[in-house]
Structure 1
Amino acid sequence: MSRPILYSFRRCPYAMRARLAIASAGLEVELREVVLRDKPAQLIEASPKATVPLLIDGDTVIDESRDIMDWALAQADPEAWRDMPSDGEDWIATIDGPFKTALDRYKYDTRYADADATQERDKAAALLWRVDAQLRDTPWLYGETPTLADMATITFIRQFANTDRAWFDAQDWIGVHGWLTRFLASERFEAIMAKYPKWQPDSEPVLFP
């Protein structure tokens, strides 16, 4: 029986969160590591978007990272990621929407004629302040263990932090700092960030996780 195929790019925060959910669910997929400047024809043929992550499970093609997370957790959720308050979905929407918009205009400000990197950075920072007090009381957003609200968003916090790490580290958000540090020090993060060679049609299958 063939395994699902996951086209991925190691550093992409969207692909990272898809891999997090697949690992949490205990599923096994064939991982195909992509070089974004040289996407394989098989990826382009499978989805007009030609973006990563892309999951192919039989006749099912899923080209949105959040949908891949939901696909994985619908099959198995041993770590109870979906057991979170309803406002967890609001937090995910905030990060996927206004936070990611500000992050892109901060990190890649030269791509946007009207972008002011400092203003965009401050917009994103204001959203992080919303959860800082919460994260000073608990290690994860809703308690002692992570939920989907944590793992669907923290890869973007990592990207934001790495844009100017000295500035990020100088901010007085103790809760947010601890949250990101716990994630980066976790075995799960280490596992999903293993390096793989670029996939070729004649490559030996790489199984993940």
Structure 2
Amino acid sequence: MTALPILYSLQNCPYAMRARLAILLAEQAVYLRPIVMKNKPAEMLAVSPKATVPVLVLGDKQQGLKQHSSNVQVIDESLDIMLWALKRNDPQDLLYASQPDALAEMLQVIEQNDRQFKPDLECYKDAKRYHHEDLEACRLKCEPFVQHLEQRLTQHAFLMGEQPSLLDYALLPFVRQFSKVNRQLYLNGPYTHLQAWLNQHLQSRLFSKAMFKHPLWLDTQQNVLFGG
């Protein structure tokens, strides 16, 4: 019998958050190893030299993934972890399996988030934190993507339709970060539908479960059973 996968995760990292969300949504069981970036486990670095989370370590009997050694396979990109989990089990049809073009559309928007919106968001966060003079310019760079999401949500309850999708959960942690940079400006901004969408997710049992704070693995050396 193959041992459970191991997930190295950081509490508030948006990439780790979306990986945890997908594992819960796919009802997959993993051993969770919470870490902090200032003290990375040697075991994680040995299998993923990029040294960022999330990192999912699979047993040698898992199929369809690059094998890094005689008995270890690794997925160390958050979107790939989400897809791995949901392709194993997707009880809520988050991949919109009956719509042939849906997944490609989701992946395109996720790529815009990861490649464009995320760097702009980091600029905005840093400008707010360090009182940079370009705060407003950084915020305005974020606006087109946020308004695109708002426009989608004027058409249906979730980003792809009337039911949640991979896209909703892949973007949720980043929209959450955006909402917190300048809270009052966000609450007063033209994001009525996005605010309702975000609140619905943040108040869910799923999000609470994904965000439950477990002891650091290096402190306890005990794996936490997560998901399933």
Given candidates 159, 171, 174, the residue that maps to 2:177 is 159
Superposed CA offset, 1:70-90 (max 9, x none): 111121111111116242222
1:145 Cα deviation after fit: 1.9
Any conservation in 2 of the 1:106–1:115 contact (CA below 8 Å)?
no
1:116 Cα deviation after fit: 2.6
Give the letter aligned to residue 61 of structure 1. Answer: V
What are the ranges of 5 or more consecutive residues in structure 1 without an aligned counterpart? none
Structure 2 partner of 1:33: 34
Give the letter aligned to residue 3 of structure 1. Answer: L
Once residues 104 and 43 of structure 1 are traced to their aligned partners in structure 2, the CA distance between those partners, rounded to angstroms, is 26
Taking only aligned residues, the RMSD between alpha carbons, in angstroms, comes to 2.0
The question of 1:116 aligning with 2:129 is answered no
The question of 1:191 aligning with 2:209 is answered yes
Once residues 179 and 41 of structure 2 are traced to their aligned partners in structure 1, the CA distance between those partners, rounded to angstroms, is 31
Task: State the percentage of identical aligned residues.
Answer: 40
Give the letter aligned to residue 82 of structure 2. Answer: M
Given candidates 77, 87, 93, the residue that maps to 1:80 is 93
User: Secondary structure of 1:32's partner?
Assistant: strand
Once residues 54 and 91 of structure 1 are traced to their aligned partners in structure 2, the CA distance between those partners, rounded to angstroms, is 23
Once residues 201 and 55 of structure 1 are traced to their aligned partners in structure 2, the CA distance between those partners, rounded to angstroms, is 20
Instruction: Count matched residues.
Output: 208
1:115 Cα deviation after fit: 8.6
User: Secondary structure of 1:99's partner?
Assistant: helix
Q: 1:121-200 counterparts in 2 under 5 A?
A: 121-200=139-218
Q: Which has the higher mean CA deviation after the structures are superposed, 13-22 or 81-90?
A: 81-90
User: Secondary structure of 1:200's partner?
Assistant: helix
